[in-house]
Amino acid sequence: MEHETLIVDLMGLKFDVTTTLVTVASCIIVFSVVFICTRNLQLKPTGKQNFIEWIIDFVNNIVSTSIPGKRGDRFKLLGFTLFLFVFVSNMLGLPLVLVINDIQWWKSPTADPIVTLSLAMMVILMSHFFGVQEQGFKNYFLNSYIRPVPFLLPIKLFEEFTNTLTLALRLYGNIFAGEILIGLIASLSNSFGAVTWIVGVPLQIAWQAFSVFIGSIQAFVFTTLSMVYISHKIGHEETVEHKEYVETN
């Protein structure tokens, strides 16, 4: 299942053409869908506007479960973009895995560990940034690493790295494994020409359906965990606000 990819050297930085291509494609797809769905907005929504508002509500719920009240509002766009990007990226490799002359041209961007690690790193760095912004550096440091007991400091420091890794590798592992199995089933179908299609095609359909399920779950999990990590960093005064939130609702 390992294939070469085309590598372009640009000003000393090496770029993987496949990953760049599918990442940009995923961005374009997300933007196009959302753009088309948000044309001609009505107060009384119909059709495509209902669809996009359903997704927005879904993501808003994810965000406000972790970060309740007004403080969650600024993270809703981030959650929305993360969810759609990861979801579409997960789906990209399902209908098509293109390998020409042993060079891979098309796959899910999230089947590349670098992509998922980039996203996870971005989320974790953002969580630290927002943590400092919301409660000041001193409180951020105390709440994140010293409280409730100082001797947990090494574990808490270690946790920052494991968080990044688990967030990234969970997504990567699921999608990469899915694509490997898609490739295996495809080569099984082609092993004896059209005869083995009888076995291969239903198997492939079943596995693709399951991969759609996995891809959706992983997009949901990625968004949820991102919000949980951010809320851990910003959310230590939450207890008061949370009470107020519960009382006012």
Partner 1 sequence: MFNQLAIGAATSAGNTLVVLISFLILLLLLKKFAWKPVTEMMERRSETIANDLDNAKNAKEEASRLATEQQNKLADMQKESAIIIQQAQTNAAKIEKDLIEETKMSIAQMKKQAKLDIDFERKSALDEAKNEISLLSLQIAEKLIGKEIDNQTHAQLVDEFIERLADSNETE
Cβ 119 to partner 1 shortest distance, Å:
7
Closest among 160, 96, 83, 152 to 125, alpha carbons compared: 160
Cβ 8 to partner 1 shortest distance, Å:
8
Q: Which is nearer to partner 1, 64 or 189 (CB)?
A: 64
Bridge partners, 16 (sequence order): 7
Tell me if 92 sits within 8 A of 108, measured CB to CB.
yes
User: How many C-beta atoms surround the C-beta of residue 245 within 10 A?
Assistant: 16
Cβ 30 to partner 1 shortest distance, Å:
6
Tell me if 226 sits within 8 A of 123, measured CB to CB.
yes
Binding mask 26-55 for partner 1 (x = CB under 8 A): -x--xx--xx-xx--xxx-x------xx--
Q: Which is nearer to partner 1, 57 or 244 (CB)?
A: 57
Closest among 179, 178, 163, 180 to 222, alpha carbons compared: 163
Residue ranges of E strands in 27-123: 98-100, 103-106
Token pair 């005869």 in the structure block, residue: 195
Burial class (CB in 10 A: 0-12, 13-18, 19+), 10: exposed
Query: Contacts with partner 1: how many residues (CB under 8 A)?
Result: 43
Cβ 12 to partner 1 shortest distance, Å:
9
Is residue 85 part of the contact set for partner 1 (CB under 8 A)?
A: yes
In the list 96, 98, 103, 114, the residue contacting partner 1 (rule: CB under 8 A) is: 114
Cβ 25 to partner 1 shortest distance, Å:
10
Q: Which stretch binds partner 1 (CB under 8 A): 108-116, 162-170, 203-211, 241-249?
A: 108-116
Q: Which stretch binds partner 1 (CB under 8 A): 78-86, 160-168, 181-189, 228-236?
A: 78-86
Is residue 165 part of the contact set for partner 1 (CB under 8 A)?
A: no
Long-range contacts of 162-166 (CB under 8 A, 24+ apart): 163/120, 163/124, 163/229, 164/117, 164/120, 164/121, 164/124, 165/117, 165/120
Cα(82)–Cα(80) distance, integer angstroms: 6
Binding site for partner 1 (CB under 8 A): 2, 4-5, 7, 10, 13-16, 19-20, 23-24, 27, 30-31, 34-35, 37-38, 41-43, 45, 52-53, 56, 76-78, 80-81, 85, 109, 112-115, 117-119, 121-122
